[in-house]
Structure 1
Amino acid sequence: MIALVIALGTFSAAVVAFLLPNEYSSTVNAVPPKRPQTGLESVVSGLSSALRDFGLTRLGGARTSSGGYDFIVVLQSRSLLDSLIERFDLVKVYEITDARSPDSARALARKELLDRYEIETDAAGNYLITITDRDRYRAAAMANAVVEIANNIARELDARESQVFLAGIQQRLDAALARMNALADSLEAASRKTLMYSPLDQARAAASAIAEAKAQLLSQEILLGVLQERYGDDDPATQQQRRVVESLRQKVQDAENRPGFVGNFSLREAPRAAYDYLRYYTELETMMKLKAAMLPMLEEVRTSLVRNSPSLYVLDPALPAIKKSSPRRSLIIGGAFVASAILALLLALVMDTLRKVREQLECITSTSALEHGADGK
Structure 2
Amino acid sequence: MNTSTEYQGDAPGSANAATGVAPNRTLLSVLEALRLIGRGKKIVFRTTALFTAVALAVALIKPSTYTASTLILPPQQSIGGAGGSLAGLGALASFAGPGLGVKNSDEMYASLLVSESVLDGLINHFDLKTRYRADTMQDARTQLMKRLMVVADKKSGLLTLKIEDRDPVFAADMANEVVPEFRRLLDRVAVTEAQQRRRFLEERVAGTRAQIADAEMHLRSAQATSGLLSIDAQTQAAIRQAAELRAEIVAVQVRMESMSAFATSENPVMQRSAAELAGLRQKLSELESGTDSSAPVAASDAKGLDNVRAYRDLRYQEAMLDTLTKQVELARIDEAKEGPLVQTIDSARPPEKKSGPKRLLIVLGGLLAGFFVGALAALLSQGDLVGPYTESLGRVREAWSLSRKRSQ
TM value normalised by structure 1: 0.71
Q: Distance in 1 between matches of 2:198 and 2:171?
A: 41
Residue 281 of structure 1, CA deviation: 2.2
Q: List aligned pairs for 1:204-215, cutoff 5 A.
A: 204=236, 207-208=239-240, 210-212=242-244, 214-215=246-247
Secondary structure in structure 2 of the residue aligned to 1:260:
helix
Is the alpha carbon distance of 1:10 and 1:277 closer, same or farther for their aligned partners in structure 2, counting shifts above 3 Å?
A: same
Normalized per residue, the structure richer in helix is 1
CA deviations on 1:116-167 (whole Å, 9 max, x unpaired) are 1111101211111111112222211111111111111111111111211221
Question: Is structure 2 residue 48 aligned with structure 1 residue 6?
Answer: yes
1:301 corresponds to: 331
What's 1:65 paired with? 101
Q: 2:114 aligns with which of 76, 90, 103?
A: 76
Contact 1:36–1:311, Cα closer than 8 Å, also in 2: no
Residue 354 of structure 1: aligned partner: 383
Q: 1:64 to 1:295 in 2, by over 3 A?
A: farther
Please give the residue correspondences for 1:170-181 in structure 2 after superposition, counting only pairs within 5 Å.
170-181=202-213
Correspondences of 1:28-177 after superposition (within 5 Å): 28-36=70-78, 42-44=82-84, 65-66=101-102, 70-96=108-134, 99=135, 105-122=136-153, 123-177=155-209
Q: Secondary structure at the match of 2:69?
A: strand
Deviates more, 1:86-95 or 1:216-225: 216-225
CA distance in 2, matches of 1:259, 1:191: 19
Q: Does the 8 A contact of 2:379 with 2:385 survive in 1?
A: no
Contact 1:220 1:244 in 2 (8 A): no
Q: Distance in 2 between matches of 1:349 and 1:314?
A: 61
Please name the residue that 1:282 is paired with: 312
CA shift digits 1:311-369 (9 cap, x unpaired): 42111111112122111112111221222223333333443x4357779x9xxxxxxxx
1: distance between equivalents of 2:150 and 2:315? 55
2:161 counterpart SS class: strand
Q: Aligned partner of 1:114: which letter? A: M
| Counterpart in the other structure of 1:200 | 232
TM-score by length of 2: 0.67
Question: Does the 8 A contact of 2:71 with 2:159 survive in 1?
Answer: yes
Please state how far the C-alpha of 1:216 moved relative to its aligned partner. Answer: 5.1
CA distance in 2, matches of 1:224, 1:21: 55
Asked if the contact 1:190–1:276 (Cα under 8 Å) also holds between the matched residues in 2, the reply is yes
For 1:128, what is the secondary structure of its paired residue? strand
How large is the Cα RMSD of the aligned pairs? 4.2
Correspondence for 1:16 among 58, 64, 72 = 58
Query: Does the residue aligned with 2:84 lie in a helix, a strand or coil?
Result: helix
1:330 aligns with 2:350: no
Decide whether the 8 Å contact of 1:206 with 1:262 is kept in 2. no
Question: Which residue matches 1:51?
Answer: none
Q: CA deviation at 1:3?
A: 2.8
Contact kept in structure 1, 2:68 and 2:351, CA below 8 Å: yes
Matched, 1:339 2:375: no
Using the alignment, how far apart are the partners of 1:19 and 1:218 within structure 2?
Answer: 69
1:84 partner amino acid: L
Listed one character per residue, the Cα deviations across residues 165-196 of structure 1 (whole Å, up to 9, x for unaligned) are: 22111211222133334434554676578764
Residues 182 and 317 (structure 1 numbering): CA distance in 2 closer, same or farther, change over 3 Å?
Answer: same
Whether the 8 Å contact between 2:197 and 2:331 is mirrored in structure 1 is no
Is the 1:74–1:154 contact (alpha carbons within 8 Å) kept by the matching residues of 2?
A: no
Give the Cα–Cα distance (whole angstroms) in 1 for the partners of residues 240 and 119 of structure 2.
59
Q: d(CA) in 2 for partners of 1:208 and 1:172?
A: 21
Secondary structure of 1:44's counterpart equals coil
Task: Verify: 1:260 aligned to 2:282, yes or no.
Answer: no
| Pairs aligned (count) | 329
1:260 alignment partner AA: S
**For structure 1, which segment, 281-290 or 80-89, has the greater mean C-alpha deviation from structure 2 after superposition?**
281-290
Distance in 1 between residues matched to 2:355 and 2:258, nearest whole Å: 50
Cα distance in 1 for partners of 2:66, 2:285 equals 69
How many Å apart are 1:203 and its aligned residue?
3.7
Seq. identity, %: 24
Structure 2 residue runs without a partner (length 5+)? 1-41, 87-98, 391-408
